[in-house]
Amino acid sequence: MCSAQKAPGTAIVLGLVVMIICLILYPGGWLIDASDPLDFEETIQAFTANDNLTHAVSFVVILCSLLISYGIFSFWRLQGPSGSLGHSMLRFGILVNLFHYGVYILTMGTRHLLVAVSQHAGSLADPSGAPDLMLVLHATSGGLYFAFITISSISGILVGIGLARRFSSLNLTAAACWVFGLAGVAGLINVVVGQQAEVDPEAFIMVSNIVLFVAAAALLFIGIGVIRGEKELIPEDD
């Protein structure tokens, strides 16, 4: 029974920690061949110059996304007053969360294909078209990532507030739930403002990264709360 209780929290914590490590090691990111995300050709070069690493970290990020989704989906079994706003928000947020990780997995899959095109360009019917195809794939992954930012913000609001309303007092885990929800609000505002032509794209990217980091830290504490067996996060039948 104890291990069954802790499994969702362990999945959240393990998935987040490994995902963060992978994203730090992602080519074109912070450590390996750092590139300007607005320079598509430079970023593609970073991916393809480290092709095996790009494949590996993309694969692990997909697995981590599934792990985290499993952990959050466990909240579906939490009991709540029938028809209550908080419980309805939580359940809808869980469904939105599954969808937003699905979009993120598609983003990683597009990068897998981009690198595969580079590795096997000679096998294409028109090898000279490989650079253009990779550019299209990278632009597609960028569009999917923008959708991920949007949907994850909505998911954060719903899940964060839905969980926070289950707590009768403000402890560390309850605060993490509120922070998770507020990070979603900040992310959604950033998406709306970032769409305006007057806004510097680099500012949008920087704010998105900060919001995602804060949300990840908050979710980490929520996962730890599940591992500790806090009653607000554990189904009554466990």
Residue type at position 237:
D
**Mean pLDDT lowest for which of 80-84, 85-89, 146-150, 176-180?**
80-84
Which residue has better confidence, 115 or 200? 115
The encoded tokens of residue 67 equal 């792990």
- The residue among 149 and 200 whose pLDDT is bigger is 149
Helix axes 85-119, 40-49, angle to 10 degrees: 70
* pLDDT given for residue 89 in this prediction: 93
* Residues 125-171 pLDDT 10s: 888 888 999 999 999 999 999 999 999 999 999 999 999 999 988 89
Domain ranges of the chain: 2-233
Query: pLDDT digit string (tens) for 17-68?
Result: 999 999 999 999 888 988 888 888 899 999 999 999 999 999 999 999 999 9
pLDDT (mean) for 3-15: 90
The whole-number pLDDT of residue 238 equals 57
Q: Which residues contact 53 (CB under 8 A, 6 or more apart)?
A: 25, 27, 32
Residue 210 confidence (pLDDT):
94
Burial 200-227 (b: 16+ CB within 10 A, else e): eeeebbebbeebbebbbbbbbbbbbbbb
What pLDDT, on a 0 to 100 scale, did the predictor assign at position 164?
94
What mean pLDDT is predicted for residues 110-132?
Answer: 89
Instruction: Tell me the average pLDDT of the chain.
Output: 91
Mean pLDDT of the region 215-238: 90
The pTM is what? 0.90
* CB 233, CB 13: distance < 8 Å: no
